[in-house]
Amino acid sequence: MQKWVSRAAGLAVAVAMACAAMAPARAQLFETRAKQAYLMDGETGTVLFSKNADRLVPPASLAKLMTVDVVFHALKSGRLKMDDTFQVSENAWRQGGASSGGSTMFAKVHSTIPLKDLIQGIIVQSANDACIVVAEGMAGSEANFARVMTNRARKIGLKKSTFDNATGLPDPKTRVTMHELALLARHIHDTYPEYYHIFGEESFTWNDIRQRNRNPLVHENIGVDGLKTGHTENAGYGIVASMQRNDRRLYLAMTGMDSERERAEESRKLLEWGMRSFEKHSLFAKNDVVGKVSVYGGTQSSLPVTANKPVSIFLPITDPDRLRAQIDYDWPLKAPVEKGAKVGTLKIFLGDTLSQQTPVYAAAAMDKGPLYKRAFDAFEELTLSQF
C-alpha cells in the first residue's frame, strides 16, 4: 500500500487495488472533430471518452433538456398535469415564433395549448415558443424560470452549469459542460421513464405543420432514442444522445462541430465505438474490502474500507492495462470512526481519464487509541505536513 500527502489539496491518497501499474500518458483511443465530448456507460457510470468535457460552453438548444427536467419534475410531484393548459403570450410568440427565425411549433398568439403538446413541441421540434410559454406559465417570466433551472441543476448534482433562459438562445450567463449534460440525460431517463419515450418520437404536428424530430440519429434505427440537438453560431453544432443496444445504454454529449452532417457522423461513430470497443469487468462484489486508509489516533494505524455496491467497469478491448485506481480521503482521518461511515472515494482511471467514482465506507469501527499512540500519530502528522 502506497501513501502520500498532497499539501495543496489537503488529501492523502492511497493506491487501493492490485491493478496494472500506472501507465504513461497515451493518446485517446478515439479521435473526434467535436471540440467538447463526453461518453459514458449508463449502468456503471464508466467514462468511455472525455474531451474538454468540463469546459463551460454555450449550449444552444441542448439547454432545453434542463427546461424539460423542470417540467417533468413538476409533473412527477403532482404540481402539473399533462392536460393543464398554457396561454401563448405576445412575448412568447415574438421571441420564439415563426418570425423569430428559430425553431418553433408555430403556436398562435393568445391561444391556449395543453402541456402535453407543449412538451412534444420542446422535445421533438426544439420549439423556442413552447419553452417560453411553459416558462411564463410556470414561473411568471422566463427570467424567473431560468433561476429555477439553475437551482434544479444544483439539486440533481450539476455543479457548474447555469441558465439565464429556457431556450438556450445566445446569452453570456447560460453555460453548460458536456459532462453535466450527459449526467442530465441519464437523470432524465432514469427518473422519468413514463415520459422518456417522447424523445424518440419521429415527428410532431401542430398548427397543421408536421415536423420531424431534429435528432437525426432517431431516424436511423441504430438504437438511439433521444435526446436533443442544438446549434447557434457561437456554440456550433451539438447533440446529447442516448443509445440502447441489448442490455447496454450509453449517454453522449458533444458540441463544437461545424455542420449538421459532421454532427451526425461524429456522434454516430462515437456511440458505435463505445458499444463495440469495451468489455465489462467486475472489480469488487458488494461489501468487498477495496483497500485501507490511514487513521490518526486510533487503536490501529489503518482501517479497511468497502463499497456498498458491486463495482464494475468497462475496459477497452484493445488496451485493458490502462486501468489504475486510488482512494481519496481527507487526511488525517481521526478516530473514533463508526462502522459504515463514509470515509472517502474510490477513483478508477483509464489512462489519464477519471472513469468512475464510488464512495467507500469503514468496514469496521475504530475507537481512540491510547495516549502514546495518539502522540506518535501527532508526531507523524507534523513530520509529514512539514515534509
Band of pLDDT at residue 17, cut at 50, 70 and 90: very low
Give the side-chain half-sphere CA count within 13 A for 285.
1
Instruction: Please enumerate, by residue number, every residue annotated as part of a binding site for substrate.
Output: 228
Contact 270, 39 (CB under 8 A): yes
Q: Map residue 179 onto helix, strand or coil.
A: helix
Q: Tens digits of per-residue pLDDT, 55-104? A: 999 999 999 999 999 999 999 999 999 999 999 999 999 999 988 889 99
For the ranges 16-20, 96-100, 202-206, the lowest mean pLDDT is seen at 16-20
For the ranges 27-31, 89-93, 196-200, the lowest mean pLDDT is seen at 27-31
Band of pLDDT at residue 373, cut at 50, 70 and 90: very low
What is the model's pLDDT at position 370? Answer: 62
What is the model's pLDDT at position 329? Answer: 86
Domain 36-276 has CATH 3.40.710.10: yes
What's the topology of domain 3-24+281-386? Peptidoglycan synthesis regulatory factor (PBP3), Domain 2 (2.60.410)
Q: Tens digits of per-residue pLDDT, 119-139? A: 999 999 999 999 999 999 999
- Cα 275 vs. chain centroid, distance in angstroms? 18
Neighbours of 250 (CB within 10 A): 30
Which residues, including other chains, have CB under 8 Å from residue 199's CB and lie 6 or more apart? 123, 215, 218, 225, 226, 227, 228, 242
Q: Tens digits of per-residue pLDDT, 147-165? A: 999 999 999 999 999 999 9
Q: Tens digits of per-residue pLDDT, 258-303? A: 999 999 999 999 999 999 999 999 999 998 999 888 887 888 888 8
Query: Which residues are catalytically annotated?
Result: 61, 64, 126
Instruction: Please enumerate, by residue number, every residue annotated as part of a binding site.
Output: 228
Is residue 375's pLDDT more than 60?
no
The residue that leads in pLDDT, 323 or 250, is: 250
Residues 83, 146, 107: CA angle, nearest 5 degrees: 45
What is the model's pLDDT at position 171? Answer: 96
Give the mean pLDDT of 183-195.
Answer: 98
Q: Tens digits of per-residue pLDDT, 33-56? A: 999 999 999 999 999 999 999 999
Contact 196, 244 (CB under 8 A): no
Q: Tens digits of per-residue pLDDT, 299-353? A: 888 889 999 899 999 988 887 667 888 999 887 788 898 999 999 999 998 878 8
Give me the residue spans of the domains in the chain: 3-24+281-386, 36-276
